[in-house]
C-alpha cells in the first residue's frame, strides 16, 4: 500500500511537470503588448538580437526549474513519510543516545543530508544553466563551497528551531502552536539583527566602499532622507555572478547599505544613486517593519493551520510530537508558503513600486531610472513581460515593463 501511494505521488509529479513544460514553452504569452513596441520598455530597443534570444530561452528554463523544484520538495517530504524513512531516522537517533536533544540532532542530521542529496540535482542544474547563459561566473568548487556553507548554516538554525518546536509539542500537545508563534517573534528580530554581521560574511567579503566620492554622494542622499548611515559597504560578487544588486539590510545598529561590485562596474553614479534612493525608499516608508508585522501575522495563521492538519493526520501516525513527524510539518509549511506566495508577492511588488516612485521624487532623474532598469534587464537576462502564472508565483518585484512604464508615464 505504501509503495502504491509513493508511485501515485511520483506519477502525479511527472504529470504536473509535463503540464508546466507545455504551459511555459508552448502556451504562455510573454510578448510585449503592441502599444509598447519601440518604447523604452521594449527590449528590442536596448538589447541585441543575441541577448533577446538568450533572455527568452533562459527565462523558460529558469521558470520551469522553479515550478518543478517546489513540488519536488513536497515529493521528498511525502516519500520520506510514506516509505517509513523518517521513522528509520528516528530509530537510528534513539540507538545513539537516550538524551532527547542528542536524538533530535542525530535525526535532523540524517534528514538534512537526505534532503540535500535529493534536491541537489535541481541546485546543480540551476547553477549549470546560469553559468551557460553567462549569469554565473562561479566555478563548481566555489558553488559547492556555498552549498555546503548553506547546509551547515541551515542545519544550525533549523536544529535550534526544531528542538524548541518539538519540546513545545510534547509539553503543550494541541496548543503548541501558540507558544511557538510567541517565540518566533523575538527569534525573527534576532535573525534580522545578526544577518548582516554574522551570516552574510560567511558567503562574501564586505568592505567599505572604495569610491569615497560616490560614498559621499550616497551618504548625502541618506542624510536628505533622514536615514542614519555612516558607511556604505561593497561586496565582491563579481567572482560569483554578472547580475547586479544593491540593498539595505539589517535592523538597528547592524543596518547596512550594501552595493555589489558588479553594480559599481556596470552603472554610472547617477544610476547608482537612483538604485540607492530606491533602497532608501524602503527605509523611509518603513517597509521592513510592515514586512516583519506581515510575517508575524502569517506565522500565526500558518502555525494554527499546521497544528490543525497535523492533529488530523496524527491519528494515522505514532503522534505528532514524535520527531519522525517533521516531514509532515515541513510539507504542510511548504504548501502553505507556496499557496500564500501570490499574496506576499503582490504586497512586495506594491512596496517595490512605492520605492521606485520615491527614487524618482528623491533624485528627480527619470532618465537614469529608465536606464537602470534596462541595465538590470540585460545583466540578468530578465523577461520584461513574464507570463501571468510566473508573475503571480515568482515575481516579488514589478515586471520591468511595469517599472519602466511607470517612470515614462
Q: What is the pLDDT of residue 254?
A: 67
Burial of 355 (0-12, 13-18, 19+ CB in 10 A): buried
Residues 389, 380: Cα–Cα separation, whole Å: 20
* DSSP state letter for 385: S
- Residue 56: C-alpha distances to residues 24, 43, 63, 130 (Å): 11, 11, 11, 14
Four-residue CA torsion sign, 176, 302, 292, 77: positive
Neighbouring C-beta atoms of residue 409, cutoff 10 Å: 5
Cβ(310)–Cβ(328) under 8 Å? yes
Indicate which residue of 73, 234, 356, 371 is catalytic. 356
User: 354, 216 in Cβ contact below 8 A?
Assistant: no
Q: Known catalytic residue: 279?
A: yes
What CA–CA distance (Å, rounded) separates 44 from 128?
A: 27
Q: How many CA atoms lie within 13 A of 299 on its CB side?
A: 17
> 136 phi and psi, to 5 degrees?
-85, 140
The rounded distance, in Å, linking the Cα atoms of 378 and 375 is 5
Q: Report the C-alpha dihedral over residues 309, 169, 86, 70, rounded to 10 degrees.
A: 50
C-alpha to C-alpha distance for 306 and 316, rounded to whole angstroms:
16
**Of 234, 279, 365, 383, catalytic:** 279
223: annotated active-site residue? no
330 contacts: CB under 8 Å, gap ≥ 6? 77
Q: Is 282 assigned to a binding site?
A: yes
Instruction: Check the annotation: does 364 bind a ligand.
Output: no
Give the single-character DSSP code of 108: H
Residues 6 or more apart in contact with residue 325 via CB below 8 angstroms: 86, 310, 314, 317, 318, 319
Using the 8-state DSSP alphabet, how is residue 258 labeled? E
397 annotated as belonging to a binding site for a ligand: no
User: What region, left, alpha or beta, does residue 257 occupy, with left being phi > 0 and alpha being psi -120 to 50 degrees?
Assistant: beta
Rounded to whole angstroms, how far apart are CA atoms 21 and 149? 32
Task: Retrieve residue 162's grid coordinates.
Answer: 526544531
Strands 232-235, 246-249: pairing kind = unpaired
- Who contacts 378 (Cβ-Cβ below 8 Å, separation ≥6)? 46, 47, 51
- Please list the pLDDT of the chain residue by residue as tens digits (409 residues): 778 888 999 999 999 999 999 999 999 888 888 888 988 888 889 888 888 888 999 999 999 999 999 999 999 999 999 998 999 999 999 999 888 999 999 999 999 999 999 999 999 999 999 999 989 999 999 999 999 999 999 999 999 999 999 999 988 888 999 999 999 999 988 888 888 888 888 888 888 888 888 888 888 888 887 777 777 888 888 889 988 888 777 676 667 788 898 998 899 989 999 998 998 888 888 888 888 899 999 999 999 999 988 887 766 666 677 899 999 999 999 999 999 999 999 999 999 999 999 999 988 889 988 999 999 999 888 888 999 999 999 999 999 999 999 988 7
Query: What is the reported pLDDT for 318?
Result: 60
Cross-strand bridge partners of residue 235: 206, 260
Q: Longest C-alpha distance within the chain, in Å? A: 70
Amino acid at each position: 500500500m505504501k509503495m502504491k501511494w509513493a508511485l501515485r505521488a511520483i506519477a502525479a509529479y511527472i504529470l504536473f511537470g509535463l503540464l508546466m513544460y507545455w504551459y511555459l514553452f508552448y502556451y504562455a504569452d510573454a510578448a510585449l503588448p503592441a502599444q509598447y513596441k519601440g518604447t523604452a520598455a521594449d527590449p528590442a530597443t536596448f538589447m541585441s538580437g543575441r541577448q533577446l534570444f538568450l533572455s527568452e530561452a533562459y527565462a523558460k528554463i529558469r521558470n520551469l526549474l522553479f515550478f518543478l523544484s517546489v513540488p519536488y520538495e513536497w515529493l521528498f517530504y511525502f516519500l520520506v513519510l510514506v516509505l517509513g524513512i523518517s521513522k528509520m531516522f528516528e530509530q537510528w537517533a534513539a540507538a545513539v543516545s537516550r538524551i532527547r536533544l542528542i536524538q533530535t540532532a542525530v535525526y535532523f542530521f540524517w534528514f538534512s543530508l537526505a534532503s540535500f542529496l535529493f534536491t541537489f540535482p535541481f541546485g546543480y542544474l540551476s547553477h549549470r544553466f546560469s553559468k551557460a547563459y553567462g549569469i554565473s561566473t562561479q566555478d563548481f568548487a566555489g558553488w559547492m563551497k556555498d552549498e555546503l556553507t548553506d547546509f551547515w548554516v541551515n542545519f544550525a538554525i533549523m536544529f535550534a528551531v526544531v528542538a524548541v518546536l518539538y519540546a513545545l509539542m510534547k509539553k503543550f500537545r494541541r496548543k503548541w502552536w501558540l507558544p511557538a508563534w510567541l517565540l518566533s517573534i523575538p527569534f525573527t528580530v534576532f535573525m534580522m539583527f545578526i544577518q548582516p554581521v554574522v551570516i552574510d560574511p560567511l558567503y562574501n567579503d564586505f568592505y567599505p566602499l572604495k569610491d569615497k566620492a560616490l560614498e559621499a554622494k550616497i551618504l548625502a542622499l541618506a542624510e536628505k532622507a533622514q536615514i542614519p548611515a555612516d558607511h556604505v559597504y561593497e561586496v565582491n560578487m563579481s567572482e560569483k555572478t554578472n547580475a547586479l544588486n544593491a540593498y539595505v539590510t539589517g535592523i538597528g545598529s547592524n543596518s547596512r547599505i550594501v552595493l555589489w561590485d558588479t553594480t559599481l562596474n556596470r552603472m554610472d553614479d547617477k544610476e547608482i544613486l537612483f538604485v540607492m534612493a530606491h533602497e532608501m525608499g524602503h527605509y523611509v516608508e518603513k517597509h521592513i517593519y510592515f514586512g516583519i508585522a506581515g510575517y508575524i501575522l502569517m506565522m500565526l495563521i500558518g502555525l494554527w493551520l499546521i497544528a490543525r492538519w497535523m492533529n488530523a493526520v496524527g491519528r494515522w501516525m505514532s503522534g505528532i510530537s514524535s520527531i519522525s513527524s517533521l516531514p509532515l510539518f515541513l510539507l504542510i509549511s511548504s504548501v502553505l508558503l507556496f499557496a500564500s506566495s501570490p499574496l506576499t508577492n503582490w504586497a512586495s511588488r506594491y512596496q517595490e513600486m512605492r520605492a521606485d516612485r520615491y527614487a524618482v521624487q528623491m533624485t528627480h532623474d527619470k532618465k537614469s531610472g529608465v536606464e537602470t532598469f534596462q541595465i538590470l534587464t540585460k545583466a540578468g537576462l530578465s523577461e520584461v513581460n513574464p507570463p501571468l502564472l510566473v508573475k503571480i508565483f515568482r515575481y516579488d518585484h514589478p515586471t520591468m515593463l511595469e517599472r519602466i512604464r511607470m517612470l515614462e508615464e
